[in-house]
Structure 1
């Protein structure tokens, strides 16, 4: 028998065995378990779907299943997918048996490249045995205590000052909007968290390396030999880590924000090597830069493509948050007023996240758990709240669920369902909006992100006009989203939008000052 024939026969036997095994497993489900959506290719079909369809795959499977929770079998385990806000609320409550930590550690390891010894420090098995807070518990508590609304005022003042300075020096001209938002947001955020001697400030090229890595990070994480198969992105990551290591070695973190200084101390006190501490800060940069910068672009895109909304927001900001000092020709914008007295602007931010951020909140099932007194979730499985599906559910949001509605969140932060009758209009279930996560793992940086995003968008709307560049056939707003890429949060655009940024005539000669109060 030829070698090729042997290979084909072996493959056929393996495939038949897998199919028979899967059929046997299908015949022995527990009646309390969520319904199973079997893949067309045994064992690996859903894995292939996630890799090829990205964020869109849960929408595809949810269309096939039509159940509020269902199971996707993958290899020897399965993932439960939740598409009901009611059940999502139960997931968020079951914090003793549905845990985030067993998922985040392996994912972060693939993302930043920790050593095995550092992973053991993070797992902190001895502390868990003794019933004491583990390293990850202490990190969780640190982030949530130092990034609350009151505690971030220090960083908020710095980032607003940085935005004011950089926009004051900005000349009129043409630019790719997404690229410009990304670079500006990266620079001011890195400065606020890591101080004036952060790598992005000292080495401008490092910012570009960070975004080279971000473009192909999923490839690096998914490949067992990412340093070979996705070498460009892998090397870009290592260059940023090298500069962060140098940042720590030279003591530049002493000028960082309180949260970063506390993070560095926690790592070093636990015995984490400097290079792995730098890798942890690389992960922190990921959390602070990527979603926020993409959100700024999408928010501007949705507003600037609607001239009536531009005027509506300008009137709201001018009435509630704008102060003009004629003696110094300084115009200031108060973040506190933007947050508390500009409901349309806040609604636009939340609606932007609703339509562009298919957030999936994942938990690891540590022991058999009965959800909502109905569904049995098996231990050693993963349960995912499919935010992208929830965000487009017409039963939840109304017939315009797939459209951008700038006023959807004006009356309540949970959102209001649209409808043709008053009976159809109602407040949306609080677990349906997943823009900042939910439960015990709400995004710890959401308050800081609001300071940056609302203030930056407000000053751009009040101070500048965005028009089509000369020679352009027209600005093509609303570029398609990169739905087939697996995002960690907000989806990127598939193309940029070229604009001309020009100071408004009535605002020329004005110095802008963004303030917390």
Structure 2
């Protein structure tokens, strides 16, 4: 008993000492700085919360601290969490002192395995000292310029031709919808960006390795020894990265898109090694593949689980974007007509993103900064714009903010607040919708993703019926999301949805042709 009492006493003393130490060392409120939300477990409580609750944690803390911006102290650092669209707008405007680069470089290094020398080269301090555009700025500008109207039209036609080819050869059968969407998107997207000799086309088995890595991405990044603690995902990453290095070494990128060829040219110009150029393209795959593949599944889920919405969308697409050439037995859908003439489909796409995209836009505070003439942000801190919190805010979206409303984005791409007779006049603040990020890090590939997703969803609605699989009376729509994962992209379903896909009788003998115009 004496040993047990000693142990209990020791634990009690340890907790008391930790509490006293935390009280002594805890961050002190400073005039003008955002209010502090102290962790319930000293020093590490917020870190534990993020690791265990993931995307949900900012919703939990925001419910405790109902402020437009507040501070989460973590060990010796602090993070400011922004929950107000108005403040998010001001954060995005302070681009000279609130920077994305100091965060993205170390994160990317952990993600793909860059050498320290390559990270230093990417920082391009010499160019910054000479007041010239640094490497990261040039890459950023390249993405935006080469993802403009001309190149987007070309790449759009390439990817739509590939989707048409895949669907025309598709047999009627039961299939897991998420897994199938993801696999098809890898094929058509890597072809559009990296050409016909991309690694996934030459070695289709790599697709499984890629998703093994992606599924444990956070573990690989967080571990000091991922080759030991997260070995399966680590080896999968190395296998795919090796094929990207070989792709560059054999110059298969000469058939790639203009944006990929220019990225590679800039990396060579900077003197990046062949290995790290391959790893950089491996990292590029994350932005090109992951979010689009997951998003198309959720858009289909939210539509197909609502028979009335299916009927409305089919009628809208048939009126505005669908045509049949009986002489060639070809059914066509034009993307530009979907974009401009199908407001309900576009609204469903954005509402789906509002539901599944809890991403946080992060900035590093390089020097003390006053935001909105009100809040002082201290240097060496991190600012997180909590997209998931804003996407559920009733004050922003209305009383049905936690419900799927397919018409929420009918009147404006920013969305409207519901609960008013004049909903079209209740425009939501432009910074409230975080589906594509915001400010200087607005997703450069958003237009390409929209081409893929809207066209793919439209052709499936017009060409196929989705019924319960064999032996089932219903389809289990609306699977739970992986809300407890640290938000690095849109949320995946925790289980798949199995459907019986069968060509619609009225157009089953037609060949599909998706095109831009």
TM interval, shorter chain, is: over 0.9
Q: Are positions 1:172 and 2:187 aligned together? A: no
Assess, with a 3 A threshold, how the Cα gap between structure 1 residues 13 and 126 changes in structure 2: closer, same or farther: farther
Task: State the Cα distance separating 1:43 from its structure 2 match.
Answer: 1.3
Correspondence for 1:299? 299
SS in 2 for 1:296: helix
Structure 2 contact 360–487 (Cα < 8 Å) conserved:
no
Does the CA contact (< 8 Å) of 1:111 and 1:221 recur in 2? yes
Shift of 1:418: 0.6
Change (3 A) 1:157 1:422: closer
Cα shift at 1:186: 0.7
With structure 2 as the length reference, what TM-score do the two structures score? 0.96
Per the alignment, in what secondary structure is the counterpart of residue 35 of structure 2?
coil
How far has the Cα of 1:285 moved from its partner? 0.3
Partner of 2:511: 511
Alpha-carbon separation, structure 1, partners of 2:320 and 2:445: 25
Give the secondary structure class of the aligned counterpart of 2:150. Answer: coil
Separation (CA, whole Å) in 2 of partners of 1:192 and 1:424:
37
Q: Is the 8 A contact 2:414 2:433 kept in 1?
A: yes
Residues 34-68 of structure 1, C-alpha deviations (whole Å, 9 max, x = no match) = 00000011111100000000000000000000001
In the TM superposition, what is the alpha-carbon distance from 1:377 to its structure 2 partner?
0.4
* Cα distance change of structure 1 residues 10 and 189 upon mapping to structure 2, 3 Å threshold: farther
TM-score, L = length of structure 1 = 0.96
Which residue of structure 2 aligns with residue 275 of structure 1? 275
Specify the SS of the correspondent of 1:40.
Answer: coil
State the Cα deviation string for residues 171-210 of structure 1 (Å, max 9, x = none).
Answer: 1001000000000011100000000000110000001100
Q: Tell me, in whole angstroms, the C-alpha distance in 1 between the residues paired with 2:444 and 2:256.
A: 18
Say if 2:244 is the partner of 1:244: yes
* Residue in 2 that maps onto 1:62: 62
Q: Is the 8 A contact 1:418 1:425 kept in 2?
A: no
What is the CA distance between 1:489 and its match in structure 2? 1.6
Compute the displacement of 1:474 (Å).
1.7
2:430 partner SS: coil
Q: 1:27 to 1:220 in 2, by over 3 A?
A: closer
Is the alpha carbon distance of 1:423 and 1:314 closer, same or farther for their aligned partners in structure 2, counting shifts above 3 Å? closer
* Structure 2 contact 194–257 (Cα < 8 Å) conserved: yes
Match of 1:311 in 2: 311
Once the two structures are TM-superposed, the CA of residue 407 in structure 1 deviates from its matched residue by: 0.5
Structure 1: give runs of 5+ residues left out of the alignment. none
SS in structure 2 opposite 1:474?
coil
Partner of 2:182: 182
Q: Distance in 1 between matches of 2:89 and 2:123?
A: 27
Per-residue deviation, 1:19: 3.6
Residue 403 of structure 1: aligned partner:
403
Stretches of structure 2 that go unaligned for 5 or more consecutive residues are none
SS in 1 for 2:454: helix
CA distance in 2 between partners of 1:213 and 1:354 (Å): 26
Contact 2:168 2:512 in 1 (8 A): yes
Counterparts of 1:61-460 in structure 2, within 5 Å, are: 61-422=61-422, 426-460=426-460
RMSD: 2.0
Q: CA deviation at 1:5?
A: 12
- For residues 27 and 289 of structure 1, the distance between their equivalents in structure 2, rounded to whole angstroms, comes to 41
Equivalent-residue separation in structure 1 for 2:420 and 2:152 (angstroms)? 42
SS at the partner of 1:152?
Answer: helix
Is the 1:148–1:444 contact (alpha carbons within 8 Å) kept by the matching residues of 2?
Answer: no
Q: Does the aligned pair in 2 maintain the 1:348–1:406 contact within 8 Å?
A: yes
